Structure 1
Amino acid sequence: MSLLELSWLSELLAAHRLWAALAFGGWLMLCWYCLAPAWRRRRRGSPAAAAEWLIAYASQSGAAREIAEQLALTAGHDGQAPALLPLNDLSLDNLSRHSRALFIVSTYGEGEAPDNAALFWRRARHQRPALQALQYGVLALGDSRYADYCGFGRHLDRWLGAAGAQPAIPLTEVDQLAPGALQQWRNRVDHLFGLPVVDDSATETATSWVLAERRQLNPSSPGAAAWLIRLSPIAAMPQWQAGDLAQIRIGSLRRTYSIASLPEDGALELIVRQVVGADGQLGQGSGWLCRHAESGATLEVVLRPNPQFHLVELDTPSIFIGAGTGLAGLRSLIKQRQRQGHKDNWLIFGERCQQHDRWLAEELEGWAAQGMLTLDRCFSRTEETTEYVQHRLTNKADQLRQWVDQGACIHVCGRLAGMGNAVHAVLQELLSAEQWLGLQQQNRYRRDLY
């Protein structure tokens, strides 16, 4: 074969390869053209695609977190995987990457953000990110007995609107976890995101208990009577963690209390203050638990997780601060610490009268004698001096700073008004900015206030 013929044959083969490549490419284009509309339809038909939406929560007692987790679980059952995280773990860049978001948020104190949202709010409230592509809904949980009802939820909703985000669901405010209002909100969410309709109220699991014992902790005290209530399970002992809550059902009434015991104690124990109205009438819940119910009476209890008040997993010192019935939540934590073999526990506890308000003296002083507890008691109604827990903290500021530098976690339990707010202010005053920021960033400042 001549050189001319070889050249012609080579060019012919190259042309065949070119046409084959063009034909294959054209076939791919045709496939894409035919299939892409169906793919786009499927994508448009899934209103809450996994990469699009977010569930963020701000929770102090655990209620907002529980609602968020139930919602995320339902979405997961529908083949979706929304991002679920506390607000403190949400950056503004991350938020701007989502097209849909639900915020389930509680209000703490007087319109404040809960502890697991405080850092986010400090960063975000003075910024205006571009959130025009975001559709959102805010569920604000609150208590109308407080002046700034649902305050943080309202602040967050206004901030989102100012950043250009569009409300897919109007701001929804729910007073004291009212079941009907929660279910109405959930129905709107299910409709918006195409989720299976779920009755959230049906997910609660109540257990039956009997009143086994009650003992007054402060006989002859000038303050209202306080009682240690001991309940025994009718069936098998359910499980809970130190720091969790018990919601007591008394008829149509529901009251939530900090749990003062561990399952290993064989009973559910509460510390309940007897409420007496201006007319001399006993409070409905406390009146029944402390006075009216006879031994052996049955009642229904819903155990509620309170992870924001659980012990930290790290082996670090622990400081426990409380007054009055706040001793309940602290007692369960101290019991758990002792079961874990930790001795570096410091309790600062306040009550009224030194003579009559040495609550659980034998137990607490026994732990102190065994070297398992550093015990500081404060009394506000003494002849010599009036001392509250915040005063004792000030007097022991050097010890406080030393424990914090050693990585201590601080747990505060009791009334928000008075003790809770005062302790918060004193801690900010006594600790350096670096120490205070470290407590918050590492979630070592935990509160159960009511």
Structure 2
Amino acid sequence: MTELSPVGWLADQRLLWAALAFGSWLLLCWLCLVRPPRPKAMSSVTASEWLIAYASQSGAAQDIAERLLPAFHQHNLQPALLPLNALHPDALSGYSRALFIVSTYGEGEAPDNGASFWQRASNARPDLTSLDYSLLALGDRRYSDFCGFGRQLGDWLDGTGAKAALPRHEADRLDTYVLHAWHRRISQWTGLKLQAPSSAPFSYWTLCGRTQLNPESPGSPAWLIRLLPVGELPDWRAGDLAEVRIGSILRTYSIASLPEDGALELIVRQVVNDDGSAGQGSGWLCCHAEPGAMVEIQLRSNPGFHLPEDNRPGIFIGAGTGLAGLRGLLRQRQRLGCPDSWLLFGERCQQHDRWLAEELDAWTTEGTLLLDRCFSRAGDQPEYVQHRLAAKADQLRQWVDRGASIHVCGSLAGMGNEIHSLLQAVLSPQQWQALQEQQRYRRDLY
């Protein structure tokens, strides 16, 4: 029998342990390659790593984003809550986790408080391989490019190397099923107990009066609708919206009054269908409902159309029922004593479409309002509001240089789109960029 020497035995043991260690290292490398990295547990994620970013036109996406904050605060986390325009694409690399809640405006466009970000992002490809994100896209299937901006943003994020921690959720007109599903998945991903989304309840209001604003006009009748609540008058801000439920249909209207006026007022144009019948919503409000009828209404905040906090000059542009949202803003400025308000308003007939003439003319006489009325059927010189603004381009630039904000309310097709293109054409790139980045360009278009 051969006897092993102590030196030989130790050498064999060292070789064995070295082989085992090398094999373990190879196995670990293989696992790292084939297994995706696990998301960090909530306890290991710091506040500076979290971003909640939103792009919102009517306030819905912003509201959802803000409602996420309490759950983070309960875990001593202070995520950055920002509109997209407040971010540079490169800044996203400073976060490890992000929640994006974005609406689509018009036909696949970014909302105004996301447009500057998107313009920068379209020409940028930062390295976001360290970013995990979830995206909630809000849209309306009645438009051809449903959730268009949300989908573009998701594709862009994927192109930068960012990793979608969850599948993209797309909600049609704030579909509660989709919103609840997204919150459940976010709760599972983060470990946070998120409050399920909820909206303000509908309440009953009494129809107490309506006045036609354009008797004998060649256009469809337009009415000032006045409503009182059953119970205490709730609070709202100029620029907010009223969602009216009539049977199974919902209609959203800009609020034309302030709580200080003592009633909720809407401006509604009576829709006439091709067969001569009245539209369901406008027909009931303007024709069929008797005084004293009950109306179900839900008030909705619209922060993207509120006035700035200071008394800077204001330019207000609208046509038709777009006067509703502008009237609320102008009334608030009158109450606050803000100088330098300029209203450009367009309708059809000079003789019969001087809507709210007594009120607007009084402000003009007092010197608190500069008023330009435009009429598209004014004999030999028809004029749309965008034509008047183009003719006063020098004055527009001067007001913008003085820090004026611009509010546009009315139809997106036609007036809204043409005003948008005109502003881009007549303002300098610096003026246009400042308007967007300082949130001085605000739109309520439908």
Q: Do the aligned residues in 1 keep the contact of 2:68 with 2:194 (CA within 8 Å)? A: no
Aligned to 1:133: 130
Aligned to 1:260: 256
CA drift of 1:47 comes to: 7.5
CA drift of 1:249 comes to: 2.1
Aligned to 1:217: 213
Establish whether residue 154 from structure 1 lines up as the match of residue 144 from structure 2: no
CA distance, structure 1, for counterparts of residue 133 and residue 364 of structure 2? 52
CA distance, structure 1, for counterparts of residue 64 and residue 179 of structure 2? 9
CA distance, structure 1, for counterparts of residue 430 and residue 95 of structure 2? 33
Establish whether residue 368 from structure 1 lines up as the match of residue 364 from structure 2: yes
Q: Do the aligned residues in 1 keep the contact of 2:86 with 2:437 (CA within 8 Å)? A: no
CA drift of 1:365 comes to: 1.2
Q: Which amino acid aligns with 1:52?
A: E
**Once the two structures are superposed, what CA deviation does each residue of 1:36-78 show, in whole Å capped at 9, x if it has no partner?**
xxxxxxx835386533321100011111101111122333345
User: What SS does the corresponding residue of 1:123 show, helix, strand or coil?
Assistant: helix
Q: Which amino acid aligns with 1:347?
A: L
CA distance, structure 1, for counterparts of residue 276 and residue 65 of structure 2? 41
CA distance, structure 2, for counterparts of residue 351 and residue 434 of structure 1? 32
Q: Which amino acid aligns with 1:220?
A: E
| Count of matched residue positions in the alignment of Structure 1 and Structure 2 | 407
Q: Do the aligned residues in 2 keep the contact of 1:247 with 1:255 (CA within 8 Å)? A: yes
**Once the two structures are superposed, what CA deviation does each residue of 1:261-311 show, in whole Å capped at 9, x if it has no partner?**
000000011111112222333222212211222111122322111111111
1:34-49 matched pairs, under 5 angstroms: 44=41, 46=43, 49=46
Per mean C-alpha deviation after superposition, the further-off stretch among 373-382 and 173-182 is: 173-182
Aligned to 2:413: 417
Please provide the CA RMSD for this pair. 1.7
Establish whether residue 58 from structure 1 lines up as the match of residue 55 from structure 2: yes
CA drift of 1:118 comes to: 1.2
Establish whether residue 101 from structure 1 lines up as the match of residue 103 from structure 2: no
Q: Which amino acid aligns with 1:351?
A: E
Establish whether residue 116 from structure 1 lines up as the match of residue 113 from structure 2: yes
Could you tell me the TM-score, scaled by structure 2's length? Answer: 0.87
Per mean C-alpha deviation after superposition, the further-off stretch among 410-419 and 294-303 is: 294-303
CA drift of 1:81 comes to: 2.6
Q: Do the aligned residues in 2 keep the contact of 1:410 with 1:444 (CA within 8 Å)? A: yes
Q: Which amino acid aligns with 1:144?
A: R
User: What SS does the corresponding residue of 1:240 show, helix, strand or coil?
Assistant: coil
1:35-434 matched pairs, under 5 angstroms: 44=41, 46=43, 49-201=46-198, 203-434=199-430
CA distance, structure 2, for counterparts of residue 178 and residue 378 of structure 1? 40
User: 1:47–1:145: structure 2 CA closer, same or farther, 3 Å change rule?
Assistant: farther
**Once the two structures are superposed, what CA deviation does each residue of 1:73-94 show, in whole Å capped at 9, x if it has no partner?**
3333454332211011123343
Q: Which amino acid aligns with 1:172?
A: H
Q: Do the aligned residues in 1 keep the contact of 2:374 with 2:388 (CA within 8 Å)? A: yes
CA drift of 1:124 comes to: 1.5
Q: Do the aligned residues in 2 keep the contact of 1:78 with 1:196 (CA within 8 Å)? A: no
**Once the two structures are superposed, what CA deviation does each residue of 1:138-195 show, in whole Å capped at 9, x if it has no partner?**
1111122222221111110000000111111212221222222222222222222222
Q: Structure 1 unaligned segments of length 5 or more: list them.
A: 1-42
Q: Do the aligned residues in 2 keep the contact of 1:99 with 1:135 (CA within 8 Å)? A: yes
User: 1:238–1:47: structure 2 CA closer, same or farther, 3 Å change rule?
Assistant: farther
Per mean C-alpha deviation after superposition, the further-off stretch among 374-383 and 72-81 is: 72-81
CA distance, structure 2, for counterparts of residue 354 and residue 73 of structure 1? 53
Q: Do the aligned residues in 2 keep the contact of 1:47 with 1:194 (CA within 8 Å)? A: no
Q: Which amino acid aligns with 2:432?
A: W
CA drift of 1:436 comes to: 1.5
CA distance, structure 2, for counterparts of residue 427 and residue 90 of structure 1? 23
> What is the aligned-residue identity percentage?
63
CA distance, structure 2, for counterparts of residue 74 and residue 281 of structure 1? 50
Q: Which amino acid aligns with 1:229?
A: I
User: 1:92–1:378: structure 2 CA closer, same or farther, 3 Å change rule?
Assistant: same
Q: Do the aligned residues in 1 keep the contact of 2:316 with 2:326 (CA within 8 Å)? A: yes
Match among 414, 420, 437 for residue 441 of structure 1: 437
CA distance, structure 2, for counterparts of residue 435 and residue 394 of structure 1? 16
CA drift of 1:211 comes to: 0.8
Per mean C-alpha deviation after superposition, the further-off stretch among 325-334 and 45-54 is: 45-54
Q: Do the aligned residues in 1 keep the contact of 2:41 with 2:190 (CA within 8 Å)? A: no
Aligned to 1:31: none
CA distance, structure 1, for counterparts of residue 373 and residue 339 of structure 2? 18
Q: Do the aligned residues in 2 keep the contact of 1:228 with 1:269 (CA within 8 Å)? A: yes
Q: Structure 2 unaligned segments of length 5 or more: list them.
A: 1-39
